[in-house]
Structures are given as C-alpha cells and as structure tokens.
Amino acid sequence: MNNIEEILKKKKLTKEDLLILINTEKAEDIDRIYRKAYEVKLENIGNKVYYRGLIEIGNKCIKNCLYCGIRRENKKIEFFEMTREEILESAKWIYENGFASIALQAGERKDEDFVNFIEELLIDIKKISNNKLGVTLSLGEQTYETYKRWYDVGAHRYLLRIESSNKDIYNTLHPSDPLHNHDTRIECLMDLRKIGYQVGTGVMIGLPGQTTNDLVDDILFYEKMDIDMIGMGPYILHDDTPMGIKYKNEVISVEKRVELGLKMIALTRIYLKDVNIAATTALQGLDPMGREKGLKAGANILMPTATIEEHKAKYQLYNDKPGISDNARESKEYLDRSVKAVGDQIIYDDWGDSPHFRKKKMEEI
C-alpha cells in the first residue's frame, strides 16, 4: 500500500498529511484523493447538490482590492444597480423554479441608504416567498449592527472570503490602508458567528507567492474559525487591475490552478467532512468542466447566476467570466444536465443548510 492510501485511511489527518496530499503529483494518486473526497461527501451529505440562485445586485464598491475587476479605481466599469423590483422579480423566478435559496452579492457599500435598501429588500423577499426562500448575503465587511439588522429580517447565511489566511499574502492583494485590513475581516467573521449566521468564507487559489503550505493553512483556518460553508476558487487575472497587469506572465498555469482548486475542494471535504462546499464559477472560468469536476471532488453547492441579462457583463470580477451571456433559464438547464452526468441529484425546495451548522444547533438544544 502506498503512502497516500495509508493517509486516506486515517480518521483525522495531520497538517503533514494534508501537505503530502496537496503536493501529490501522480495523476492516479490525485484521482484517488478525489474519489476519497467523493466518498466522504456521500457519507456526510449524500449525492446531493443544492442550488443557490446568485443575484449580483450592484457593482459599486468602496474597496480597491488589487485583483478585482470592480475595484473602486477601475475607471472602465460601467456602473449598474438593480432596482428593488428587478431583484424581487429575479428572486421570484428563483423561488418559483424550486431553488430554495438565493444569494445576494454586490460590491461593498456601507452607506445608510444601502443598509436600509437591503433591510427593506429582505423583508420583501420573505414576503413574496411566504417566508420560505433562504437568503445568503455576500455584501462584504459591515458593522455588527448592520449584520444584526439584516439577520433580524431574515438573512441567515453570510459569505465573506478571507481571500488568504496568510496576512502577508492578504497584504499583497490589497492596498495598505485601514479599509483593507486582515484583522477586521476576521473580526467580521466572528461577529457573524456571534449573531447566529451560518458563516461562509474562502480563499483564492494559485495567487502569486502562495505556497501549498499556505493553502493547507487555509484549510486549518476554516477549522479554527468553525466555518460552515466554503466558496473558494482559482485566482483569475483581470486585465484592468494592478495584479492583472503585474503578474500577466507570472501566474502559475491554468491547468495547475484548476488542479490546485480541485485538490483544495477534495482536501477540505476529507478534512472537514460535513461543511457545504461550492464548486465556484471561477473554477468553471478556467475549465469548462470545472464545476462538474468540483462536484466529483467533493463539492455539494452550485451557485448559478440569476442576475438579469442586461447587467451580467458588468459584473466582471475577472477576465472571461463564464455564463455572462446566458440567461438564468439556460444556466439552470445546463447545470441540471451537468449534475446528473456526475451522478449527483439536485435537491429542490430545501434550504440545504450545512450539516455542520445543523449539528451545532442540535447540540445547543
């Protein structure tokens, strides 16, 4: 029996084990890791896939992350803001199509108008779905009070990526000013947990200067922070960003970034077992079969974009973001086919809470 097989038999892996697995190069060993991750998914979640209908509600952002296409200083962005009616119409479509949950995402804004807008919107979303539609927010760093206000009117999951658990890497991705602070982001994750949200985070994979040791530390960070949901994907260059220009010829190959992305999904599944893990759009951005491969490597969440047609192209976080010309219905049908081809089953009309979160709640009772 080889070393990989021995490691995969263990109940609890050590950091050294994770390092050996992530550094595995032989195709058959890598495949074995993916198969093990799929087995762990079957044991802990089943062959189930949950959809989150993703609505990108606006691309104005007060931040200036050096990698992101909708950063404040990208002068080429054409701004858009969905109206309340447009968002409600998308939410209704999602609800009527049996997706039990939506995710609202936007560039970061903290102004009072925005906070109120979201609060009122949440009340309306609950109304149009008889309180049934689950709501995940991905609206960046906010104050404790704002997070609480949104939670009190029905948001119950929040995604806030740490981008990298390594503070030095985080600092190379962001301008060095108080608005972009690694500690603040960790505090936000703790606030969200305290309020009662299911908390999601994630990292970018294949960043300049990032090692496999850093990536394994990211998985240990998820554990330490008791994270319920994980959304992570490969870093993709965007031509109109400082990092996109600086690293144009230096970033690791597309194939390697996809492989690392899949290995991260697989190792996170094997190590943390019962968390929700998304096969992200960025993975598909680099590999047309990326999401299917993600499901095979242990992911159980897909987030098809339901942003209305007119605005999709303006939400370009990175080059060639997939699906921007499909309408929501085409995306859904495409995904339905892919999920079945993998051997998974789409679960409709169920929020699909992270089993990790559900278990914690049970223990409290």
Per-residue interface string for the shown chain with ligand 5AD, residues 188-207, x marking contact by CB under 6 A: ----------------x---
Q: Give me the least distance between CB of 238 and ligand 5AD, in Å please.
A: 5
Give the integer Cα–Cα distance in Å for 295 and 49. Answer: 8
Partner in contact with 52, chosen from ligand SF4, ligand 5AD, none, beta carbon below 5 to 8 Å by kind: none
Tokens describing residue 183 = 């500690």
Contact between 108 and ligand SF4 per CB under 6 A:
yes
22, 61, 87, 277: which one binds ligand SF4 (CB under 6 A): 61
Spatial CB neighbours of 242, under 8 Å, sequence gap ≥ 6 = 66
238, 263, 296, 312: which one binds ligand 5AD (CB under 6 A): 238
- Binding residues for ligand SF4 restricted to 126-155, rule: CB under 6 A: 140
Give the integer Cα–Cα distance in Å for 118 and 57. Answer: 10
Q: Are 32 and 263 in contact (CB under 8 A)?
A: no
Contact between 141 and ligand 5AD per CB under 6 A:
no
Contact between 357 and ligand 5AD per CB under 6 A:
no
Tell me the CB-side half-sphere exposure of residue 196, using CA atoms within 13 A: 11
| CA proximity to 200, closest of 1, 50, 18, 354 | 354
Place of tokens 């447009």: 86
Contact between 65 and ligand SF4 per CB under 6 A:
yes
- Binding residues for ligand 5AD restricted to 79-138, rule: CB under 6 A: none
Contact between 173 and ligand SF4 per CB under 6 A:
no
Which residue, 32 or 63, is less far from ligand SF4 as judged by CB?
63
Q: Are 240 and 263 in contact (CB under 8 A)?
A: no
* Contact region with ligand SF4 (CB under 6 A), list: 64-72, 144-152, 259-267, 326-334: 64-72
- Binding residues for ligand 5AD restricted to 37-66, rule: CB under 6 A: none
Output the CA–CA distances (angstroms, integers) from residue 36 to 23, 146, 233, in the order listed.
Answer: 16, 41, 20
| CA proximity to 52, closest of 15, 112, 99, 4 | 99
Contact between 68 and ligand 5AD per CB under 6 A:
yes
Q: Give me the least distance between CB of 162 and ligand 5AD, in Å please.
A: 9
Q: How many residues in total does the chain contain?
A: 365
Number of residues that bind ligand SF4 (CB under 6 A): 9
Contact between 306 and ligand SF4 per CB under 6 A:
no
What DSSP designation does 252 have? Answer: P
Per-residue interface string for the shown chain with ligand SF4, residues 181-220, x marking contact by CB under 6 A: ----------------------------------------
Spatial CB neighbours of 114, under 8 Å, sequence gap ≥ 6 = none
Partner in contact with 107, chosen from ligand SF4, ligand 5AD, none, beta carbon below 5 to 8 Å by kind: ligand SF4
Tokens describing residue 313 = 């192209």
41, 52, 71, 332: which one binds ligand SF4 (CB under 6 A): 71
Chain centre distance of CA 79: 23
Which residue, 204 or 303, is less far from ligand 5AD as judged by CB?
204
Count the Cβ atoms, other than its own, within 10 Å of residue 353.
Answer: 18
Partner in contact with 147, chosen from ligand 5AD, ligand SF4, none, beta carbon below 5 to 8 Å by kind: none
Tokens describing residue 149 = 């206000």
Contact between 293 and ligand SF4 per CB under 6 A:
no
Give the integer Cα–Cα distance in Å for 308 and 65. Answer: 25
Contact between 162 and ligand SF4 per CB under 6 A:
no
Tell me the CB-side half-sphere exposure of residue 241, using CA atoms within 13 A: 25
Which residues of this protein are in contact with ligand 5AD, per CB under 6 A? 67-68, 161, 163, 204, 233, 235-236, 238, 282, 317-318
- Kindly list the residues in this chain that would bind ligand SF4 in the complex (CB under 6 A): 61, 63, 65, 68, 70-71, 107-108, 140
